[in-house]
Amino acid sequence: MQNNLYRIIFIGDVIGKFGRKFLGLTLPLIRKKYSPDLIVANGENSAGGLGITRKTAGEIYNAGVQVITGGNHIWDKKEALGLLNDDKRIIRPMNFPRSAPGSGCHSFKTKDGCVIQILSLQGRVFMEPVVDNPFLVVDEFLDNNKADISLIDFHAEATAEKQAMGFFLDGRVSAVLGTHTHVQTSDLRILDKGTAYQSDVGMTGSLDSVIGMRIEPVLQKFLTGINHRFEVEKKNLILDMTVMDFDKNSGKAIYVEPVRIHETHYQEQLDILN
Ligand code: FE2
């Protein structure tokens, strides 16, 4: 990488043990090909498809991820309460009530003095109404916290809410990337004032699934209205990620690329990566 550029790879929601396994298999090759300065992944579904634990966070770190973002499922496993207080590299949505453990931002300084901050926010449309207005929360935060490069994981259901956030923050942050819907969207671009935007980064999990879970139990719930036990699917794994280069001086995005690594073409992908 040129000295004035900072490359971040953001990896879509890592789903359960098969997502973690595929992350571990592919990330060394991804690092070799793309030489990122920072790798961020959403990990709120890394434990059995719902929640995060010390073990699953440890596996994500071991694969090469440096910062883990959360979302509405971040608290689903009890130990997350302590984990988020202990480990500042795992962040939860900033707009949760103040009493929630952990932090909504992880920031650090690079060797050459560049301040990087990663933020997590949660949407309110079609989601549990437990969080404050994400627009107002991030507006106030950015007024009081300056960084050279700021990346936001906006964990939300509604595309309209995500797009609105992208335009709201265009020129104020380096990237607004959506998570939560687990389907990689084709709208990755750099907005007019230099902010990278994508409605959803996608996921690391099974393509032959309903957003990472076995199809049949999900289908039965829709057919009968009765809750069924959901299980993480292991077939046909993919890893979705977004590669972005930022200018360290301006904080603006100058290059963005959506990538999907596919298990069924794994050998081919291995060849490309090598
Ligand atoms: Fe979520």
To which residue do tokens 């609105």 refer? 164
Average pLDDT over residues 84-95: 96
- What total number of domains does the chain contain? 1
When pLDDT is cut at 50, 70 and 90, the band that residue 227 belongs to is confident
Q: Which helix (H) or strand (E) holds 32?
A: helix 16-34
Task: Compute, in angstroms, the gap from residue 8 CA to the centroid of ligand 1.
Answer: 22
pLDDT in the model for residue 266: 64
Query: Mean pLDDT lowest for which of 166-175, 219-228, 252-261?
Result: 219-228
Domain assignment of residue 274, yes or no: no
CB 116 within 8 A of CB 38: yes
Domain assignment of residue 273, yes or no: no
Q: Identify which of 78, 88, 87, 152 has the alpha carbon closest to the alpha carbon of residue 120.
A: 152
Domain assignment of residue 144, yes or no: yes
Domain assignment of residue 15, yes or no: yes
Average pLDDT over residues 54-62: 97
Q: Residue 133 is part of a domain; what is its CATH number?
A: 3.60.21.10
Segments of 20-171 assigned E as strands: 38-42, 67-69, 90-91, 105-109, 115-122, 149-155
Domain assignment of residue 132, yes or no: yes
pLDDT in the model for residue 273: 55
Query: Mean pLDDT lowest for which of 28-32, 110-114, 216-220, 264-268?
Result: 264-268
Residue 73 appears among annotated catalytic residues: yes
At 137, list the tokens.
Answer: 């929360």
pLDDT in the model for residue 272: 58
Neighbours of 14 (CB within 10 A): 31
Domain assignment of residue 223, yes or no: yes
At 176, list the tokens.
Answer: 């607004």
Task: Compute, in angstroms, the gap from residue 253 CA to the centroid of ligand 1.
Answer: 26
- Domain extent at residue 129: 5-268
pTM, two decimals, is: 0.94
